Amino acid sequence: MKLGVVPSALRLLERLQSDQRRRLAVHPVAALHELGVTVFELGERQVSDRCSCDGAYFPVPRAPRPAIGFVRTPGSRRENFTLMHELGHHLIRSDEDLLSMIADDDLDPHVLEERICDAFAGRMLVADDVLSAIAGGHRPQAADLRLLFDGCSGSLEACAVRLAERLRCEGYVVLLDRRSHSVRFASPSPECSYSWGRGTPVPVGHPAWRAQEGQSYRGQGELVWRSGYKRNLWLDAVGDGTTVVAIFSSERYWPVVGLGILSDPSATIAGPMALTGSCLHCGARVFGTRSCDKCGDVRCRACGKCGCGAPRPARVVCVKCHLLKGKAEFHPGSIPVERVRQHEYGPHPRQAPGKLDGRNAGPARS
């Protein structure tokens, strides 16, 4: 059995009257008290890292009456998302049929309930008409998150949840914290079986960090779970202050602009040989894996350029004959002379007769 996250969130919404929804979206604390739920502030240490937001729900009999604790974030919309998320837990606890379906589902009950509460909070704070106006004509892109945030009263987390619902493939809409190099929030698409936990470290060298303030990066990037398991997906990232907004997708559906030299839209699945297409510089057929540290793109073997247009070194050493060759003699198996030096002689090579002089670039013989 697989319980739908979005249908379950809609089920919770139907429990609320239209005037209650409007009041909860504008004055959540007062509206929650009217629903018989006590609301109080929490210290950050009391928040569990298993929850996707900064709050906690205390049902009866853990409290005299149902209660929600939250971490106040002045000047931010995040606390509204937290309060609506915890209200979702409250509504689930009073729906025995839904509780039974969650318990019988194939997914972990805690993970499934968290997803339902996120979906509920997202729909409470981000209206369908606003979402359709921003992302109605195309599948989500990282730049859509800021547009959606500016057009509604929801937090970045709420906007991420709504965008993830429209991915239509396995993927995540993620908020990455540049200061701690970790996941601040990750909303999986309905097709995903696994969550990406808040606070999960993201390596400093991850391609997502290449999206600087106001800039974007597109290519491939790995999901890295706490268990150490990794999966390579397509990546669309935009820098937004100390936050990087990123979409990880199992399919590449955004335009080719920004993906470097590849012009073939048929390459949609992220994998070792997925970087195939026609070079935008010379038109040659290109295949391979990422090679350029700057743009993460494959380098064309015909003209020597990559996505950022950086040419290959003028001199390379042929791996077969070990001779230095110019651009006109580039062989597909050639490698830059600098790499040969570092590999064979170390960072400070000792020059010896006959080495790298155009006659014999092979290793010294004893």
Asked if omega into 61 is within 30° of 0 (cis), the reply is yes
353 band by pLDDT with thresholds 50, 70 and 90: very low
pLDDT of residue 326: 67
Higher pLDDT, 138 or 257: 138
pLDDT of residue 339: 41
Q: Angle at CA 305, nearest 5°, toward 231 and 237?
A: 40
160 band by pLDDT with thresholds 50, 70 and 90: very high
15-24, 25-34, 247-256: segment of lowest average pLDDT: 247-256
User: 1-125 — its CATH code?
Assistant: 1.10.10.2910
**Helix locations, 165-210, DSSP H:** none
Question: What token pair was written down for 328?
Answer: 């006109």
189-193, 195-199, 333-337: segment of lowest average pLDDT: 333-337
Mean pLDDT for the stretch of residues 283-302: 75
User: Measuring CA to CA, how many Å separate 131 from each of 136, 172, 188, 249?
Assistant: 7, 17, 17, 19
Exposed/middle/buried for residue 322 (C-beta within 10 Å: 0-12, 13-18, 19+): middle
pLDDT of residue 290: 67
Task: With a cut of 80, say whether residue 345 has pLDDT above it.
Answer: no
pLDDT digits (tens, 9 = 90+) for 93-130: 989 999 999 999 888 899 899 999 999 999 999 999 99
Q: Which fold has domain 140-254?
A: Beta-Lactamase (3.30.450)
275 band by pLDDT with thresholds 50, 70 and 90: low
The fraction of the chain above a pLDDT of 90, given in percent, is 42
Query: On the CB side of 179, how many CA atoms lie within 13 Å of its CA?
Result: 4
The structure's pTM equals 0.75
The domain locations on the chain are 1-125, 140-254, 255-311, 313-366
Mean pLDDT for the stretch of residues 302-320: 68
Mean pLDDT for the stretch of residues 171-185: 95
pLDDT digits (tens, 9 = 90+) for 198-254: 899 999 989 899 888 888 888 888 898 888 888 888 899 999 999 999 999 988 887
pLDDT of residue 346: 37
The residues facing 234 across adjacent strands are 220, 249
Answer whether 1-125 and 140-254 agree in fold: no
The residues, ordered by sequence, that sit 6+ positions from 361 with a Cβ below 8 Å of its Cβ are 317, 322, 323, 324, 337, 340, 355
Crossing angle for the helix pair 5-13 and 96-104, to the nearest 10 degrees: 170
The fraction of the chain above a pLDDT of 70, given in percent, is 74
